[in-house]
Chain A
Amino acid sequence: MSDRLVHLDVLRYNPETDTEPHFQRYEVTCREEWVVLDALNAIKESIDPTLNYRWSCHMAVCGSCGMMINGEPKLSCHAFLRNYDGVIRVEPLANFPIERDLVTVADDFIDKLKRVKPYLIPKQDKSIAEGEYKQTPAQLMKYRQFSMCINCMLCYAACPEYALSPLFLGPAAITLAHRYNQDSRDGGRNERQEVIASDEGVWQCSFVGACSEVCPKAVDPAGALQQVKVASTLDWFKEHLLPGGKP
């Protein structure tokens, strides 16, 4: 196992002392198999204890450690040093305000998650004593992929629409709404539709697909948003053009 001297330019910002963010260069000995997060941990442990970032699981499931690495949104626990040459540039996730160093303010994303009503609104009430709602493997597969989102916010950092229009609900939140809409146990689509088919909703998406490219869990939010658009269009036709549709 060989060691390697790695250089990182890390964005630093302390709102109490800095007027604006600046880069700080670190030089740290790393093992070849390490990820960028390991390098940051080595810096914090032995070079600079004042460097700040979020992390926990180190296995790409808790969603804490998203950052821009050489300009791309990545989970730093899943960004392998072997894939980088030269100086590695590490910045906080784009499109979010910086709280401190690599830590961003996540309030907007958290608020958007809540607005799409991401919980089961049962089609049919059933007591626990009556057992489970039946759901075939095929019905499960219809939404399972969309239930894999770890809320890491990389898709927001990649989304050109969110960058332009912060009101946009964004890829993860709309995908989560779609996940429940597609669940055979759920009957809440109409309630969610008020939010996701609104001006801030799915029509803002220009289908660039950057969200799906950066998603570390292959959730394919772009695919989900496309499905939502098709379904919303069908709704419109049903409402406006079919006999018996609502006025």
Chain B
Amino acid sequence: MERIDTDVAIIGAGGAGLRAALALAEADPSLRIALISKVYPMRSHTCAAEGGAAGVIKADDSFDLHFDDTVGGGDWLSDQDCVEYFVREAPKELLQLEHWGCPWNREADGSVAVRPFGGMKKQRTWFAADKSGFHILHTLFQTTLQFPSITRFDEYYALDLLSDDGRCQGLTAMEMRSGLIKHFNAKAVIIAGGGAGRIFPFTTNGAIKTGDGMAMAYRAGVPLKDMEFVQYHPTGLPNTGSLLTEACRGEGGVLVNKNGRRYLQDYGMGPETPLGKPQLKTMELGPRDRVSQAYYHELQKGNTVTTQWGECVLMDMRHLGEKVINERLPLVRELAISYLGVDIVTDAVPIRPVVHYMMGGISTNMQAATPLPGLFAAGECACVSLNGANRLGSNSLVELLVFGKSAAMSAIAHLKTLPAANTAALQARAEESQARIRELFSRTDGTESMSGLRKEMMDTMEKNVGIYRTEAGLQEAVSKISELRQRYRKVVLNDKSNVFNTDLFQVLELGCMLDCAEALTVGALARKESRGAHQRLDFVERDDQAYLRHSMVYYQGLAAPRLDYQDVVITKSPPGVRDYSGGHK
């Protein structure tokens, strides 16, 4: 097996991975950096983020206000020391992107423009039309091209972390065009592999979002934290699930039911605000969890609109006018026209909530370090406990930057303390990893189809682990996912080729998704309260006495995972009431 020696290996080349690579390259040009991704960097799902990135920049705003919005938005499950650090670093990171050429929208005087966003008390969301993630990703990618110390391994599928002597020292990855497995011998590893939205059938997430990075860390003994918190974005296209950014509402779009009523006022987010005059942190600018939950209740009441794509509510942006829409929401217009045949300039667009983001992930501290020495994580795959039980829109693009950089800095500190590696032991681990893949190719007793298992997983998650959950449904999900993990051992690999074998990658991705789904369902079943994006019909109140803590799920092979809890860090904001009523009682 070919061995590639490097100082830091980064798995994933989206926003967080690229930011980490840049921080490493700038801090020490002598470091060898291996940037490993199953897709070319610009294909990473960061490109699909639309609305923008939050950072305090205007005179009427403050770090405290951004802190309060984030902590309240997260229903007090955020670690507050982490949030304090984040809000201070956010503007610096966004300015750094500006200095790297990101085409942020501007005010007339040439300063950076900001827009309103859900759950934010002030306008602080920097944006590049409605293609903010796309521009951030491409700016970062293009900037990396000037650093010779960053070696990219594009279209390498990462397989297993390699640990010895109690610390992570590399990984195995398959070169997709040859099928060859390589041993990356790294002094530190940063996982920036993105979320796992694809465990659900209806999601904004691209095909690549299969939780590979999460599963790698989980199998290596690192707990997955707060996995039960899954964000539904309130406004997805009902057929493809494509995202229509929250900026639609930030710019003044409104949500109406079949009677033309702006129903959010019936769910604690009223009173109704005048059309075309959105007010911060109320009505359509409420947080995503609340707005998605309101949809569920409208559905129960029979207030939704029946369309050929199922039940929907309507998002109306007609009053914004063609000029504003073209200037600020061009992608939204394009998406709705091409995939739904609806022009938002002339018609209200049917939408419904769609799985969008995992608040949970690989457990890290504020320095982006996991409990396994030498292993760091950042971005959606990580849970640094910034977002708590519900992420505010436009915090995640900044999270990529702030904690991508933190991961790099922590990795550098780790490099300075290392004893010599036991190369033979690591090579043995790499051989074991290769054997796992060989077994798939040589398996003769396979009985299960990959697409069949995948469908059963998605159906179970959709039916039982959605916006509202119950004990019985979650019990069913836990036992079903456990059963699917057993059956997965008999999955059939149909394609035995070595060259760009997507059948193989889908089989491996399914294994990762099943492990993530297990952690998610186990965490959800045990959390007998309603908080943020985790809503239980049988435990409707938040229970700070019992559950103001992070769930930590530990991998136990094929046995049921072990569940533990970790305290939430509270520095200055005791748990309170989330108020999105615009100050009216």
What distance in Å separates the Cβ of B551 from its nearest Cβ neighbour in chain A? 30
Residues in B with CB closer than 8 Å to A135 are 106, 110
**One of B98, B308, B503 near A1 (C-beta < 8 A):** B308
Residues in B with CB closer than 8 Å to A201 are none
- A187–B467 CA distance with the chains assembled, in angstroms: 51
Contact B500 A132, beta carbon cutoff 8 Å? no
- A145–B95 CA distance with the chains assembled, in angstroms: 22
Contact A148 B131, beta carbon cutoff 8 Å? yes
Contact B134 A128, beta carbon cutoff 8 Å? no
Contact A50 B494, beta carbon cutoff 8 Å? yes
Contact A58 B207, beta carbon cutoff 8 Å? yes
- A128–B90 CA distance with the chains assembled, in angstroms: 12
Given A33-B239, A57-B48, A136-B110, decide whether A49 and B99 contact each other with a Cβ distance below 8 A.
Answer: no
What distance in Å separates the Cβ of A191 from its nearest Cβ neighbour in chain B? 11
Residues in A with CB closer than 8 Å to B143 are 119-120
- A60–B369 CA distance with the chains assembled, in angstroms: 35
Contact B103 A103, beta carbon cutoff 8 Å? no
Residues in B with CB closer than 8 Å to A186 are 101
Contact B450 A49, beta carbon cutoff 8 Å? yes
Is B573 close to A, CB under 8 A?
Answer: no
Contact A58 B177, beta carbon cutoff 8 Å? no
Is B391 close to A, CB under 8 A?
Answer: no
Contact A45 B110, beta carbon cutoff 8 Å? no
Given A128-B96, A150-B134, decide whether A62 and B499 contact each other with a Cβ distance below 8 A.
Answer: no
Tell me the residues in window 495-550 of chain B with beta carbons closer than 8 Å to chain A beta carbons. 495, 497-503, 506
**One of A16, A148, A150 near B498 (C-beta < 8 A):** A16
**One of A55, A100, A119, A131 near B100 (C-beta < 8 A):** A119
Contact A61 B134, beta carbon cutoff 8 Å? yes
Is B486 close to A, CB under 8 A?
Answer: no
- A103–B501 CA distance with the chains assembled, in angstroms: 10
Is A183 close to B, CB under 8 A?
Answer: yes
- A52–B143 CA distance with the chains assembled, in angstroms: 31
Residues in B with CB closer than 8 Å to A133 are 98-99
Given A50-B503, A56-B45, A110-B154, decide whether A134 and B109 contact each other with a Cβ distance below 8 A.
Answer: yes
Residues in A with CB closer than 8 Å to B40 are 64, 106, 110, 151
Tell me the residues in window 9-48 of chain A with beta carbons closer than 8 Å to chain B beta carbons. 14-17, 33, 44-46
- A50–B502 CA distance with the chains assembled, in angstroms: 8
How many interface residues does chain A have, given as a range?
35 or more
Q: Tally inter-chain residue pairs, CB-CB below 8 A.
A: 155
Given A80-B338, A135-B106, A136-B110, decide whether A62 and B100 contact each other with a Cβ distance below 8 A.
Answer: no
What distance in Å separates the Cβ of B169 from its nearest Cβ neighbour in chain A? 29
10 extra interface residue pairs, beta carbon distance < 8 Å, beyond A15-B499, A44-B502: A16-B499, A49-B495, A49-B506, A50-B494, A78-B338, A99-B500, A132-B112, A137-B106, A151-B40, A185-B101
**One of B335, B498, B503 near A59 (C-beta < 8 A):** B335
- A132–B58 CA distance with the chains assembled, in angstroms: 13
Residues in A with CB closer than 8 Å to B479 are none
Given A16-B498, A49-B495, decide whether A61 and B503 contact each other with a Cβ distance below 8 A.
Answer: no
- A57–B154 CA distance with the chains assembled, in angstroms: 18
Tell me the residues in window 129-169 of chain B with beta carbons closer than 8 Å to chain A beta carbons. 131, 134-135, 138, 142-143, 145-146, 154
Is A192 close to B, CB under 8 A?
Answer: no
Residues of A within 8 A of B (CB): 1, 14-17, 33, 44-46, 49-50, 52-64, 78, 80, 99-101, 103, 105-106, 110, 113-114, 117-120, 122, 126, 128, 131-137, 139-140, 143-144, 147-148, 150-151, 176, 180, 183, 185-186
Residues in B with CB closer than 8 Å to A33 are 239, 339
Nearest CB to that of A136 among chain B residues? B110
Residues in B with CB closer than 8 Å to A62 are 39, 42-45, 47-48, 206
What distance in Å separates the Cβ of A171 from its nearest Cβ neighbour in chain B? 16
Tell me the residues in window 429-450 of chain B with beta carbons closer than 8 Å to chain A beta carbons. 450
Residues in B with CB closer than 8 Å to A52 are 500-502
Contact A50 B146, beta carbon cutoff 8 Å? no
Can you identify 10 A-B contacts, CB atoms within 8 angstroms?
A57-B207, A62-B42, A62-B45, A62-B48, A63-B47, A100-B497, A113-B142, A117-B145, A119-B146, A136-B109
What distance in Å separates the Cβ of B212 from its nearest Cβ neighbour in chain A? 13
Q: Mark B298-309, 1 if CB is under 8 A from A, else 0.
A: 000000000011
Contact A58 B45, beta carbon cutoff 8 Å? no
Contact A136 B134, beta carbon cutoff 8 Å? no
4 closest residue pairs by CB, A with B: A134-B110, A120-B101, A56-B206, A50-B495
Is B80 close to A, CB under 8 A?
Answer: no
**One of A59, A119, A137 near B108 (C-beta < 8 A):** A137
Contact A134 B499, beta carbon cutoff 8 Å? no
How many interface residues does chain B have, given as a range?
35 or more
Residues in B with CB closer than 8 Å to A44 are 502
Contact B99 A126, beta carbon cutoff 8 Å? yes
Residues in B with CB closer than 8 Å to A78 are 338
Residues in B with CB closer than 8 Å to A49 are 450-451, 494-495, 503, 506
Residues in B with CB closer than 8 Å to A140 are 103, 105-106
**One of B47, B95, B177 near A128 (C-beta < 8 A):** B95
Is B9 close to A, CB under 8 A?
Answer: no
**One of A16, A59, A139, A144 near B497 (C-beta < 8 A):** A16
Residues in B with CB closer than 8 Å to A131 are 95
Given A63-B43, A150-B134, decide whether A55 and B308 contact each other with a Cβ distance below 8 A.
Answer: no
- A148–B138 CA distance with the chains assembled, in angstroms: 9
- A150–B243 CA distance with the chains assembled, in angstroms: 18
- A137–B338 CA distance with the chains assembled, in angstroms: 28
Given A59-B48, A99-B177, A110-B40, decide whether A122 and B99 contact each other with a Cβ distance below 8 A.
Answer: yes
- A106–B177 CA distance with the chains assembled, in angstroms: 11
- A6–B50 CA distance with the chains assembled, in angstroms: 33
Contact A147 B206, beta carbon cutoff 8 Å? no
Contact A64 B43, beta carbon cutoff 8 Å? yes
What distance in Å separates the Cβ of A108 from its nearest Cβ neighbour in chain B? 13
**One of A59, A101, A185 near B240 (C-beta < 8 A):** A59
Given A119-B143, A119-B146, A186-B101, decide whether A150 and B502 contact each other with a Cβ distance below 8 A.
Answer: no
- A64–B98 CA distance with the chains assembled, in angstroms: 27
Is B242 close to A, CB under 8 A?
Answer: yes
Q: Mark B323-357, 1 if CB is under 8 A from A, else 0.
A: 00000000100110011000000000000000000
Is B259 close to A, CB under 8 A?
Answer: no
Given A114-B145, A137-B106, A150-B134, decide whether A58 and B242 contact each other with a Cβ distance below 8 A.
Answer: yes
- A176–B142 CA distance with the chains assembled, in angstroms: 10
Given A49-B495, A50-B494, A58-B240, decide whether A118 and B145 contact each other with a Cβ distance below 8 A.
Answer: yes
Question: Which residue of B101, B112, B497 has the most chain A CB atoms within 10 A of its CB atom?
Answer: B101
Is B92 close to A, CB under 8 A?
Answer: yes
Nearest CB to that of A130 among chain B residues? B95
**One of A56, A118, A120 near B207 (C-beta < 8 A):** A56
Contact B45 A57, beta carbon cutoff 8 Å? yes
Contact A119 B145, beta carbon cutoff 8 Å? yes
Contact B101 A180, beta carbon cutoff 8 Å? yes
Residues in A with CB closer than 8 Å to B571 are none
